[in-house]
């Protein structure tokens, strides 16, 4: 297993729309393991392949405290959305920022898992929010897109400044 580098906003590669997975290869299974390792180490509750610069429709999630409820969603398709929930969302590609975002409270999602079994699942609350957030990544969309232009630019400038400082400290 290997920890992968997570792209950070405003990296243009986060805007690439991911293409469907045709079949679950050994290479893809390795990527799935690496994505879990990367997500758990961060730590985070969800990670889309887009965030590690692989533009395939694949996401992983685990909302448990002890990393015991791993979800692998390949080619996820949200079939139904219902209700409204507002949560403070964060994102491993926008480190340090949490902002209120409105999403559907419950969803029905269809996907294949790592054994290529087709599954239809209902998700409610935080899991529903997480899946919607990660599916957005696969479409090149970030949670900051739901904020005002002014707020998004402020976050962008601050992250760029942080990165310049880090570069100076390393140099
Ligand atoms: Ni994210």
CA of 137 to the centre of ligand 1 (A): 7
Instruction: Give the global pTM.
Output: 0.95
Portion of the chain with pLDDT greater than 90, in percent: 93
The single-letter DSSP state of residue 143 is G
H helix intervals, the chain: 26-41, 126-138, 149-170
pLDDT for 168: 85
**Which candidate, 82, 84, 152, 74, places its Cα nearest to that of 111?**
74
CA of 42 to the centre of ligand 1 (A): 12
Half-sphere exposure of 112 (CA within 13 A, CB side): 13
CA of 169 to the centre of ligand 1 (A): 27
Name beta bridge partners: 48.
59
CA of 14 to the centre of ligand 1 (A): 10
pLDDT tens sequence across 47-96? 999 999 999 999 999 999 999 999 999 999 999 999 999 999 999 999 99
Q: Which residues are catalytic?
A: 134
pLDDT tens sequence across 29-40? 999 999 999 999
**Mean pLDDT score of the chain, rounded to an integer?**
96
CA of 23 to the centre of ligand 1 (A): 25
pLDDT for 1: 73
pLDDT for 156: 95
Structure tokens at 72: 């692998």
Pairwise CA distance, residues 140 & 94, whole Å: 14
């Amino acid at each position: 297993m290997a920890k992968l580098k997570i792209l950070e906003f405003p990296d243009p590669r986060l805007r690439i729309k991911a293409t469907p997975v045709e079949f679950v290869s050994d290479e893809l299974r390795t990527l799935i393991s690496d994505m879990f390792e990367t997500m758990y180490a961060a730590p985070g509750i969800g990670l889309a392949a887009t965030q590690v610069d692989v533009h395939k429709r694949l996401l992983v999630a685990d909302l448990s405290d002890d990393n015991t409820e791993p979800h692998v969603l390949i080619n996820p398709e949200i079939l139904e959305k219902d209700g409204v929930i507002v949560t403070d969302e964060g994102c491993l590609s926008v480190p340090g920022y949490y902002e209120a975002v409105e999403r559907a409270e419950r969803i029905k999602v269809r996907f294949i898992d790592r054994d290529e079994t087709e599954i239809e699942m209902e998700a409610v609350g935080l899991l529903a929010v997480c899946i919607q957030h990660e599916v957005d990544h696969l479409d090149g969309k970030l949670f900051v897109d739901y904020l005002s232009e002014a707020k998004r630019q402020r976050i962008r400038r601050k992250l760029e400044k942080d990165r310049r400082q880090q570069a100076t400290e390393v140099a």
